[in-house]
Structure 1
């Protein structure tokens, strides 16, 4: 069967500054944490050891062109541009980002630029990070500077990438710095992130720039174990906390009433100011980026909550391991392709069918060298992963969902937070020692799909 996509469909991939560029003048939370606890990082590999995009950007953009990308998302590093978060702009960073943006446009690759992809400047974290409203204002200033510097050539802006992840990682589950386990502080970080997003959107609207502004959310559809009311309620709470806590403010301009009521009943609401509601309403977006990797399967709790334990989302549900589910064993994630369709249908039916695109989808695999044939990684598993997801995406589009493109994570094997280089995600293989780049089988398949704006599968 042939799957053809709409004209001007965005074909591309996504990456981030911290994961590709390499060392920078301004220290981030990742640099600071790695210097103190390298044992928390796979094989002790830290954020200095990246795919050297800062040096190799011209070569890499040629490779993007070879993969027939018509669009590419990366981020600006706040710490590179403004090393202390609030002071002078670094002219070398301005030169670098200008060159990257100009080269992408020159090669016919539309730049999609994210302002914040997990890389908090350490100077901002030292005054409380997103717990401090002064950091919200500093971020709004940084956003304004980016719009003024690059807004004539960047027409697709995103305030945040996966803003729920620093909340979960840094303030609930101990997998990002500052390694806090405290729900109310987590709720404050989430809330202030929404305020920061809204301030950036407000500044963008006020400046009458030529393009559009959005946000990138990792959406994990919540599936109940059964239709038993207790299981359904468990899935609803998981959805409120992990999806709708950001989805509703950016698309509807307000929080879900039942989320507010739930947190209020446990005394976990962040401190609000009188004008916050007006500001949040101003933060409605033009374009939603959707990162989809895995579903969330939940059931009602089987046991009572320990009242002495810290308040956590898991007070309301347990994870459910569905028998027979398809897994990516290297990442420990379920592969569930229809989830991408369910997300789009939910947006169409419940959120007014916003303009959106798949901004990340991908499969990390360990030790890919074992699949080398004639000097090339034959990653047929990645081709199957992408084509299955694209088939469900195509179904959504054919049923009226307003999805404009598909970006893969990622174009080249890059450094991945605490996992470093354990799992490889790229269309292009990176040899860490020599920095040599070699296109994988999936890269060739994607290049053909993008060129034809379609693919065939049985």
Structure 2
């Protein structure tokens, strides 16, 4: 079968500042939470590779953008670094950072690649974290200055803006499950961080709209469909709770301008509501987006709890459900994630039927594999498994579009093997192989396949 996509479909990939730039303390940049955490606990990072050793985009941006062109990208998403642009979080702007980002944006446009720019991709400036990070409303004030600066500096050329990438992840990692700094386990603080992130998002959207910038603004959410083990009412309810906490806590505010009443009632029941202020509701209503980025990697399968909760334990999402490992599921054994291609279709269908079919695109989808060197043939990684992964997801995406979903593009994670937080370079995701020793870049078989797919606007 021939899978053709609509005219003007966005073919590209996604990355982030912290995971690719390197020069984490160079070029006048201030420290992020990652720099400080790595300095104090390097053993928590795979092979003790920290954020200074990322994919050297800061030095090799021109070469890397030429590779994007070779891969037939017509669009590319990356992020700006708050701590690079404003090293102290507020105040003085770093002119070297302004030059760098101007060069990157201009070169992308010169190569016919549309820049999609994210303002925040997990990289809180340490000076802001020391004030409490997203727990502190003063940080939202500083963030608004940063957002306006970015729109003013680059908004003449950047027409697709995103406030946050996967805002639920710093909530989960930093305040529930101990895989991001500040390594807190406290649901109420997590809820406050999530709530203030929504306020920060809405404030940036309001600045963009009132500033009269020519373009559109959205957010990138990792949407993970929640599937119940069975249709037993207890399992169905467990899946609804997981969906409320992990998907709808951000999806509803940014698409509907309000929180789901069921989520508010749930947090109220367990005394976990964050403190609210007058004016918050009106601000959240102004945060409705023009464009939704969807990151999809895996489904969430849940069941009702089979055992009683320890009343002395801290309140956690798992009080309301348990994760369920479905027998016979297809796995990516390296990442420990289930591969479930219809999930991408289910997300689009849910958006079409329940959220007025918003303009959206797949902003990330990808497959991390360990030790890819074993697949080298004739000096190139033969990652047929990645071609199969992408094409199988694209088939379900195509079906969603054919049924009327307003999906405008597909961005793969990622363009070049990059640093992945505490995992370092353990799992490789790129279309392009990166040799850490000599920084050599070699296009993988999947990169050639993707270039052809983009050129043909589809595949057979």
2:306 to 302, 307, 317: 302
1:243 to 221, 240, 247: 247
Q: Which residue of 1 aligns with 2:164?
A: 160
CA RMSD of aligned residues (A): 0.4
SS in 1 for 2:446: helix
SS in 2 for 1:48: helix
TM-score w.r.t. the length of structure 2 is 0.99
Q: Deviations over 1:405-450 (max 9, x none)?
A: 0000000000000000000000000000100000000000000000
1:127 to 128, 131, 153: 131
2:314 corresponds to 1:274: no
2:230 corresponds to 1:230: no
Q: Determine the C-alpha separation between the residues in 2 that align with 1:454 and 1:170.
A: 39
Please give the residue correspondences for 1:2-41 in structure 2 after superposition, counting only pairs within 5 Å: 2-22=2-22, 23-24=24-25, 25-41=29-45
Q: Determine the C-alpha separation between the residues in 2 that align with 1:318 and 1:68.
A: 43
Q: Deviations over 1:278-309 (max 9, x none)?
A: 00000000000000000000000000111110
Q: Determine the C-alpha separation between the residues in 2 that align with 1:112 and 1:95.
A: 18
Q: Which residue of 1 aligns with 2:336?
A: 332
Please give the residue correspondences for 1:211-230 in structure 2 after superposition, counting only pairs within 5 Å: 211-230=215-234
Q: Which residue of 2 aligns with 1:197?
A: 201
The farther-off stretch of 22-31 and 270-279 is: 22-31
Q: Determine the C-alpha separation between the residues in 2 that align with 1:441 and 1:136.
A: 44
Q: Determine the C-alpha separation between the residues in 1 that align with 2:123 and 2:216.
A: 23
2:444 corresponds to 1:433: no
Displacement of 1:264 in angstroms is 0.6
Q: Determine the C-alpha separation between the residues in 2 that align with 1:224 and 1:147.
A: 42
TM-score w.r.t. the length of structure 1 is 0.99
SS in 1 for 2:246: helix
SS in 1 for 2:78: strand
2:363 corresponds to 1:359: yes
Q: Which residue of 2 aligns with 1:208?
A: 212
1:113 to 103, 112, 117: 117
2:269 corresponds to 1:265: yes
Q: Determine the C-alpha separation between the residues in 1 that align with 2:142 and 2:316.
A: 30
2:94 corresponds to 1:90: yes
Displacement of 1:140 in angstroms is 1.0
The farther-off stretch of 348-357 and 15-24 is: 15-24
2:164 corresponds to 1:146: no
Displacement of 1:87 in angstroms is 1.4
2:320 corresponds to 1:316: yes
Displacement of 1:362 in angstroms is 0.2
Displacement of 1:274 in angstroms is 1.1
SS in 1 for 2:50: coil
2:405 corresponds to 1:411: no
1:374 to 355, 373, 378: 378
Q: Deviations over 1:10-40 (max 9, x none)?
A: 0000000000001232100000000000010
2:74 corresponds to 1:70: yes
Q: Determine the C-alpha separation between the residues in 2 that align with 1:12 and 1:137.
A: 33
Q: Determine the C-alpha separation between the residues in 1 that align with 2:262 and 2:21.
A: 42
SS in 1 for 2:275: coil
Task: Give the unaligned 5+ runs of structure 2.
Answer: none
Q: Determine the C-alpha separation between the residues in 1 that align with 2:390 and 2:170.
A: 27
Q: Deviations over 1:363-412 (max 9, x none)?
A: 00000000000000000000000000000000000000000000000000
Q: Which runs of 4+ in 1 moved over 6 A?
A: none
SS in 2 for 1:231: helix
Q: Determine the C-alpha separation between the residues in 1 that align with 2:90 and 2:187.
A: 28
Q: Determine the C-alpha separation between the residues in 2 that align with 1:139 and 1:296.
A: 32
Q: Determine the C-alpha separation between the residues in 1 that align with 2:119 and 2:437.
A: 30
2:55 to 46, 51, 57: 51
